[in-house]
Amino acid sequence: MKYDLVVIGGGIVGLTSAYHFARQFGGRILIVDAQPGPAQGNTARSVGGFRMGLFTSKVNRLISETTVRFYLDVQNSGYDLGIHQVGYLILLDEARYDQYVATVRELFEAGTANLLPAADLKEMIGFIELDLSDEESELLGLKPIKGAIFSPYSGYLDVEKLARFYYEELVKMGVDFLFNTRVEKLTLAAVNKIGHPREPFAWQEKRIEFVESSNGTFEADTFILAAGAWTQELLDPIGIDSYIKPKKRQVFAAHARGDLEAFFNVQGFNSYGTLPMTFIPRGPFVVPRVRDRSIWMGLSDDIGRKWGIDFEAEDIFYYDNVYPLLRKIFPIIEGARPMSKWAGCYSINSIDENPVAFRVMNLVVATGGSGSGVMKADSLGRIAAALALGRQEAELYGGTVVPSTLLGIKGRSVEPELLVF
Ligand SMILES: Cc1cc2nc3c(=O)[nH]c(=O)nc-3n(C[C@H](O)[C@H](O)[C@H](O)COP(=O)(O)OP(=O)(O)OC[C@H]3O[C@@H](n4cnc5c(N)ncnc54)[C@H](O)[C@@H]3O)c2cc1C
């Protein structure tokens, strides 16, 4: 049977892409994934943090804010996505302060973020250390904190519930799913076949005719490749570059017992009385999880961390890297041992760390969450669907219309993102 659309990858980006295609066009749609169920790749390993537009690149700002507004409205309509608007707090040293504050000024004007000077931070979070000027801090590369950007409408959601929402809607719309099925090859054919066994030749116009998988072949008019960190495995053999590479990221979770309970007794930021999700750009983060009273910690390492798929969480990474930095900023972390840990892979756009969505032939590639793909997924899905439908424009949630080439590679005009955690 021939499909109108085959989506390779049933992670959050594949699900949103298929959802918007199905809503706008209908047709016969198949989603294929190597995992046993929806969103069990890197989406399942996500922290689920979302930011109400809190990015330095305008494009990231737009696609995150529209996506988050959609998620909030889904939850407000009665479908629990586990949304907790605990806020995002970005701690900034002197060097970063002016630059970062200038780039997100429009959020202050819109009232979706505000600035907190160091004195206010110290008053609200009694146990935070901001004067990071001693010898040990210097050795660790930490600098005194001048202030913070606080985004009160940001927070985290339950990625499993979010994926379930799209999955259930897709099932209702009659979309087919095939799990435990690995796509092995995107097979090219000539648009105008001449019947030669070695075609397509270099001079022939080409299209993807079908995908070969561990469960047979699937033919379609259009394909969306939403394989996240694995995208290049299918694109390399046919000579297409998405500029996406995988890099391991790790999360360590500790029970909020003893001194750590203080993270759940911070007033003035949110209605839960917790510390917001707190980050140092290119540094460590700590996330108090309200429902299970645990804190999640991590750090995105850069040079020295090899590109490649790797799902092995390393205790030693916590003790050597995450712990020394966080303990300096939050001395109450002293002695904290993780009860669990996991690793996943960011699909990183190595040029500007914004997502990519482009069309080549009858193939649409949508990926490059760069560590924030969940919070941009609805808009990315709308753009991928518009490309798959051959439309010049995509309408994001709330009515903003963007060119469907907004996240394309050729002619791309996207500022590099600074707020990557
Ligand atoms: C530790 C960690 C923390 C993160 N925290 C956040 C966060 O707080 N907020 C946020 O917004 N984002 C976060 N992210 C990023 C976010 O998880 C990703 O951007 C997002 O999940 C990407 O979705 P995706 O659908 O592109 O990829 P995936 O969810 O990885 O989906 C791709 C799917 O494709 C399938 N697939 C791949 N190749 C094939 C093949 N050949 N055949 C069949 N199926 C295939 C895979 O099985 C997989 O299910 C985090 C990521 C990690 C690793």
**Spacing, Cα 272 to ligand 1 middle (Å):** 29
Q: Which atom of ligand 1 is nearest to the CA of 370?
A: 19
Q: What is the pLDDT of residues 360-381, one digit of tens each?
A: 999 999 999 999 999 999 999 9
Ranges 29-33, 142-146, 159-163, 416-420: which has the least confidence: 416-420
pLDDT of 348 higher than 90: yes
**Binding site membership of 230 for ligand 1 (Cβ less than 6 Å):** yes
* Å from CA of 144 to ligand 1 middle: 35
Is 338 a pocket residue for ligand 1 (Cβ < 6 Å)?
Answer: no
Residues with Cβ within 8 Å of residue 55, at least 6 apart in sequence: 61, 64, 104, 372, 417, 419
Asked if residue 367 has its Cβ within 6 Å of ligand 1, the reply is yes
- pLDDT above 90: residue 414: no
> What is the atom index within ligand 1 of the atom nearest the CA of 346?
53
- For residue 88, the SS3 value is strand
pLDDT value at residue 41: 98
| pLDDT exceeds 80 at position 282 | no
Please state, in angstroms and rounded to a whole number, the distance separating the CA atoms of residues 386 and 367: 15
Rounded Cα distance, 67 and 50, in Å: 9
Read off the DSSP letter of residue 390.
T
**Per-residue DSSP letter, 152:** T
Q: Which amino acid is at 27?
A: G
Rounded to the nearest angstrom, the distance between the alpha carbon of 353 and the centre of ligand 1 is 15
**Rounded to an integer, what distance in angstroms lies between the CA atom of residue 347 and that of residue 14?**
14
Q: Which two tokens stand for residue 222?
A: 């259009």
The answer to whether the CB of 2 falls within 8 A of the CB of 220 is: yes
What spacing in Å lies between the alpha carbon of 226 and ligand 1's midpoint? Answer: 9
Per-domain residue ranges of the chain: 2-47+160-243+351-403, 88-151+246-349
Number of other residues whose CB lies within 10 A of the CB of residue 110: 11
Structure tokens at 22: 């199905």
Q: What is the pLDDT of residues 14-36, one digit of tens each?
A: 999 999 999 999 999 999 999 99
- Under a CB-based contact definition with an 8 Å cutoff, are residues 277 and 88 in contact? yes
Looking at domain 2-47+160-243+351-403, does it have CATH number 3.40.190.170?
A: no
Q: Is the CB of 12 under 6 A from ligand 1?
A: yes
Rounded-to-integer distance, Cα 389 and Cα 24, Å: 9
Cβ of residue 402 lying under 6 Å from some atom of ligand 1: no
How many helices (H) and strands (E) the chain has is answered by: 11, 20
Interatomic CA distance for residues 344 and 208, integer angstroms:
30
**What is the reported pLDDT for 309?**
98
Q: How far is the CA of 131 from the centre of ligand 1 (A)?
A: 37
Domain 88-151+246-349 CATH superfamily: D-Amino Acid Oxidase, subunit A, domain 2 (3.30.9.10)
